[in-house]
Chains A and B, each alone.
Chain A
Amino acid sequence: MQAHTTVVAGAVETADGAGPDIGLYDVTKRFGEQVAVDELTLEIPKGSFFALLGPSGCGKTTTLRMIGGFEEPTSGRIELAGRDVTDVPPHKRDVNTVFQSYALFPHMTVEKNVAFGLERKKVRRDELRRRVGEALELVELGALAKRRPTQMSGGQQQRVALARALVNRPQALLLDEPLGALDLRLRKQLQIQLSHIQREVGITFVHVTHDQEEAMTMADRIAVMRDGRIDQLGSAEELYDQPRTEFVANFLGSSNLIDAALVARQGDVAEFDAGGARVRVPSRLVDGRDGALCVGVRPEKISLRPADAGAQVPDGENSLLGHVTDASFVGVSTHYIVRTDGGHDIQVFAQNAGAGLETLGPGRRVAATWQPEYTFVVAKEAGA
């Protein structure tokens, strides 16, 4: 229940006064016994690049397919631009989809594929031709208009699928793992192209992906989904810097999480006992939190300094004492594993900036320090 309120509040903030473009209200989808989407409430603001991120089976594709009209919700309501479309068939919804398999029509040329939607909408011939041309230019495929999809590479087919959807200027564009079938290099290239196109056309993009890096690169808002629900919703920075669940903390990047108990709270600072050490966090992070908690910090936010020479911990920083168990030099940074005195293994990524930095070998006694505002608080998972 707590996740739901966060979601709605988060979306309304950015809606710029206008209503949301896409709204899902208490939407549940069951396939037989299995619950794919569980009382999901979500509002997607107009013009945003919105990512539904989660592992396979989390319900993200089912959610997208319900917006597109390919699946009917078991219960709940779906709105597009304020209109209830729960019972409206896909061909009467003003959204278009870029399918994971592209689903290009093999018996038609690229041009005919792109023109398909406009032909159905009975757009005038000269306007149709102009818009198809523009759409193909947008995805840089103008020269291949007469080809058939089967004669094209995966990346080109992907762009045809994109043009075929965009040419209709829909209310929203739904992208179902559109880059999933491409190799890494092409994927990176198309990620940039996609964000560029989204800014250019300004329509709402809803992007389903299991790739956290892809979601963070492209989307301005990300909903992290798990087991048919939204765990947390926010910008990439919010999700990365202040994950609120253990799942989000581990799904986006790596995290050091330590079981902790709130011991004191004074003004802006809340103090936790984390395995014997005192960890300070901004007190707003504990507002309204109860149950078992963990404190966390990202590996690259931590500084290591030798603790044997009586080195000073900067004032007000959190500090965990321990010794290095593993150090691996990976070029841009050195990755350490530090066993704290409290018995936790924490990861530390030390950037190799500047000369004369000493690599701290295994066995060295160190202090791992970081600023309290880099600390986050997550709910401890029941099973963990």
Chain B
Amino acid sequence: MSAAQASTTGRAPAGGVRWLTLRRRRALLPAIFVAPGLAWLVVFYAIPIVSQLWVSLQTGNPDDGFAQTYNWSVYPDSLSEYHTHLVRSLGYAGLATILCFVIAFPLAYFIAFKAGRWKSIFLLLIILPFFTSMIVRTVAWQTLLADEGFVVSTLRSLGLLNVLGESGRVLATPQAVIAGITYNFLPFMALPLYASLERMDRGLVEAATDLYASRWTAFRKITLPLAAPGIFAGTLLTFIPAIGDYINAQLLGTPQQYMIGNVIQSQYLNVRDYPVAAALSFIVMVIVLVIIVIAARALGTRRLSEAVAA
């Protein structure tokens, strides 16, 4: 009581240091917990985004410098110039995400329900590629897919070279880029799927079959909906980084397969047209955001929060 009086009247209590009541200190606690993360986001996320928007509206050239002119036309201009790269990025990332799902779901299902005591070994095998840098792994794929490399020579000796079309190449094709993205992002799909399947009570499938559901119906009505948070999380974790990826297109493709990430990279580092690079980055960000919102709406916000929790 005396402490409360002291703080409301502004008089320092005898202790001196205890200038806040217990209640006030408790009220401050959440703020103290959130502060470091918030500071991090402001410094490394909010400020860069604002500065990116700022830079995108400037005009000038690298030699004479850039000046702020609020040149909003940079957005329609870069969109019309690079829309093929954007569409290609969406297509490649979308296809790679679907492929990741098709490969990862049976894999995750197997590990969660059938692997038994080998579970940890299989999970380790999924994570293992991360022990090497993504660039090194992609360069390894370059070697594998090269014209005289393992894949092509195997196809040749099997007499299946014609499946590659008239070019007779694997490397430098859209398929190579998509395969590379699929390979690189597979763990991002497999791990959330595994997590959501692993949590599932297998008794539920048994209960469904007890209630006249065939194995397929039980899968459709029980397993799949309960894996939805994992599917959603895996899709976002795969699709979002895939859309901005430029390493796979650069190492496994040609300029014919370049994605929006390659364009942004070259605008920043080679052409040094910072406003166009910034504008394109912004456009990609907005597109991703819109896709997430649509997906979340379709799945319901409850699922979204569950997906985040997973």
Contact = CB atoms under 8 A, between A and B. Distances in A.
Chain A bound to chain B: yes
Interface of A: 68-70, 89-92, 95-97, 99, 101, 103-107, 116-117, 120-121, 164-165, 168
B226 A90 contact: no
B225 to A, nearest CB: 5
Contacts of A92: 212
10 contacts: A70-B210, A91-B211, A103-B201, A105-B204, A107-B225, A107-B226, A116-B211, A117-B212, A120-B211, A121-B212
- Enumerate the 3 nearest inter-chain pairs by beta-carbon distance, A residue then B residue, closest first: A103-B207, A117-B211, A120-B212
B250 interface: no
Contact of B211 (A89, A106, A164): A164
A91 B214 contact: yes
Contacts of A89: 209
B71 interface: no
B213 A91 contact: yes
A117 B213 CA distance: 8
B222 interface: yes
B222 A105 contact: yes
Contacts of A121: 212
A105 B217 CA distance: 14
Given A91-B209, A99-B207, A168-B212, 16 more contacts: A68-B210, A70-B206, A89-B209, A90-B206, A91-B210, A91-B212, A91-B213, A97-B207, A101-B201, A103-B201, A103-B206, A106-B204, A116-B213, A164-B211, A165-B210, A168-B211
B123 interface: no
Contacts of B225: 107
Given A106-B226, A120-B217, A96 B204 contact: no
Contacts of B210: 68, 70, 90-91, 95-97, 165
Interface SS of chain B:
helix
Contacts of A105: 204, 207-208, 222
Contacts of B212: 91-92, 117, 120-121, 168
A98 to B, nearest CB: 10
Interface of B: 201, 203-204, 206-214, 217, 221-222, 225-226
A99 B211 CA distance: 12
Nearest to A96: B210
Nearest to B225: A107
B203 A101 contact: yes
Contacts of B217: 120
A168 B208 CA distance: 13
Contacts of B209: 69, 89-91
Nearest to A101: B203
A95 B212 CA distance: 9
Contacts of A117: 211-212
Nearest to B206: A70
A103 B226 CA distance: 13
Nearest to B204: A103
Nearest to B306: A107
Contacts of B204: 103, 105-106
A23 to B, nearest CB: 20
A106 B203 CA distance: 12
Contacts of A106: 204, 226
Nearest to A115: B211
A168 B203 CA distance: 19
Contacts of A99: 203, 206-207
A107 B208 CA distance: 13
B300 to A, nearest CB: 11
Contacts of B208: 105, 116
A202 to B, nearest CB: 21
B89 to A, nearest CB: 34
Nearest to A90: B209
B214 to A, nearest CB: 6
A125 B245 CA distance: 50
Contacts of A164: 211
A68 B226 CA distance: 24
Contacts of A120: 211-213, 217
A90 B218 CA distance: 12
A345 to B, nearest CB: 46
Contacts of A101: 201, 203
A164 B210 CA distance: 11
A142 to B, nearest CB: 21
Contacts of A103: 201, 203-204, 206-207
A273 B115 CA distance: 62
B198 to A, nearest CB: 15
A64 to B, nearest CB: 11
A105 B209 CA distance: 12
Nearest to A68: B210
A69 to B, nearest CB: 8
Contacts of B206: 70, 90, 99, 103
A158 B206 CA distance: 17
A84 B24 CA distance: 73
Nearest to A107: B225
Nearest to B217: A120
A32 to B, nearest CB: 14
A117 B212 CA distance: 6
B139 to A, nearest CB: 44
A165 B211 CA distance: 8
A68 B212 CA distance: 11
B202 to A, nearest CB: 9
Nearest to A116: B211
A196 B221 CA distance: 33
Nearest to A174: B210
Given A70-B206, A103-B203, A120-B217, A96 B226 contact: no
A170 to B, nearest CB: 10
Contacts of A91: 209-214
